[in-house]
Amino acid sequence: MSIFTVMRLVVSCMDRRLNSYIKKKYQDAIVLRNAGANVNSLLMSLEKFNNKVDEVILLPHTDCGAMKVVYSSLKEGKKITSLVEEKLVSQFSSKKFSSLSELERLNMEIQEENLKRIFGDKVRAELVDVNKIEIPPSNDPYMVYVTVPSQLVRLSSNIYHISAEDKEIWDSLDIAVYAMNITKIISQNDKLAEKIRNMYPSVTVSTASF
């Protein structure tokens, strides 16, 4: 009798509140995470898994910081970096929505359709309600941990996780630094840490593995 291993791929937001939820439900999956579960910024990372996965799970969430950036940009005229405008906000410029909750559901629909263009009917989506999941308490300052796509490590609930190829992390970092005022970033390797340090000189950047 053959034993087949189902390879799952999770595409999710970088939000710290999802760390425990993803680890508990999808501990065997490869995880890609960024601001807004934005497929448009993960195309290089996703293509590496084309024809290699059996299931793709999309996990955006409520009370999403990235969607707040989109909402404030399109409805209130607030400015963010040109990279965020290009990679994230532009997807919604022709769409109709009147509230953040409508925008969050619209984002799920857009990203699910984007994933289906790559993976077909292997994709399923869930909008995670952050008010209905367990979020372990943490009094530590918020920070961002940047990794390549991998199985999810055990991260505490103060750590935002960007999991993507190096070239695809920068719009998420722009949101973390300029919209969310995160002041500490951790990378897995020295070369990337130096690039991040040069891009965001006001932020503390270090190298570590969790």
Q: What's the half-sphere exposure (Cβ side, CA atoms, 13 Å) at 45?
A: 27
**Residue given tokens 């891009």 in the structure block:** 199
Pairing relationship of beta strands 8-13 and 55-59 according to DSSP bridges: parallel
13 is in an annotated binding site: yes
Per DSSP, which regions of 77-142 are E strands? 123-125
64 is in an annotated binding site: yes
Q: How far is CA 181 from CA 1, 3, 170, 178, 210, in A?
A: 54, 47, 15, 6, 23
Measured distance CA(152)–CA(31) in Å, rounded: 6
Cβ atoms within 10 Å of 43's Cβ, excluding its own: 12
Cβ atoms within 10 Å of 203's Cβ, excluding its own: 18
Q: Which residues are annotated as a binding site?
A: 13, 61, 64
Q: Which residues are annotated as a binding site for Zn(2+)?
A: 13, 61, 64
